[in-house]
Amino acid sequence: MLSHDQVWAAIDALAERHSLSASGLARRAGLDSTAFNKSKRRSADGRPRWPSTESLAKVMEATGETLEEFLVIVGGLDAGGAAAPQPARVPAIPLIGFAQAGTGGYFDDAGFPAGQGWEMVDFPANPAQGSYALKVQGDSMLPLYRDGDVLIVQPGATLRRGDRVVVRTTGGEVMAKILTRQTAGRIELLSLNPAHPNREFATGEIEWIARIVWASQ
């Protein structure tokens, strides 16, 4: 029989497998960010609270794991939730195409991946929490990025002049550019493709901006 500690420890182990905190895993699954907090695992009178089958199903979908894989994690724990050593696994991060990124429901207000519809891809490094991948579609970013290239984006990373960045405007436009100048009121961007114009926006026109930290070229 599965214990309460085993199931919650397995959720923590699954979050760690995907380089997430428990709250990050809940957010990726489209749940309230506090859904998996330790304070939510027992009621005020100390009775154990169990994760719902619906929340577990959303976690499986968001991480690309199967129920069988989750049960394997559970099976590697003792009744007290102590984890047995797990084999090393290549980290996986969420992936969508640039066209999808311009539609609603894929990012939170800070530019971190959220909601459903993301694919999961292996990334041969240790990505920062909240990192995600965008697949280049078309030739608008030539000659730097080609159709099919994958860009790894890290929200929250420090931005400097000359960084390659992904920008989403309040109008829903998503673009990859080079940051040339950022002030309290304006952001200036250099186009990767000389056939496309450079762009300049008022700060209020930008929903979020995040640095590109790696590209599969």
Average pLDDT over residues 42-71: 86
Architecture of domain 92-215: Ribbon (2.10)
**What SS3 state is found at 172?**
coil
**Closest listed residue to residue 132, CA positions, set 146, 143, 121, 147:** 121
The correct CATH number of 4-75 out of 1.10.3720.10, 3.40.50.720, 1.10.260.40, 2.102.10.10 is: 1.10.260.40
End-to-end CA distance of the chain: 49
- Give the Cα separation of 94 and 36 in Å (integer): 20
Quick: pLDDT tens for 83-98. 555 555 567 889 999 8
pTM attached to this predicted model: 0.58
- When mean pLDDT is compared across 109-118, 160-169, 176-185, 193-202, the lowest value belongs to 109-118
Assess whether pLDDT exceeds 60 at residue 103: yes
* Residue spans per domain, the chain: 4-75, 92-215
Assess whether pLDDT exceeds 90 at residue 209: yes
Bridge partners, 208 (sequence order): 168
The predicted structure's pLDDT at residue 122 = 80
The predicted structure's pLDDT at residue 81 = 47
Average pLDDT over residues 63-75: 79
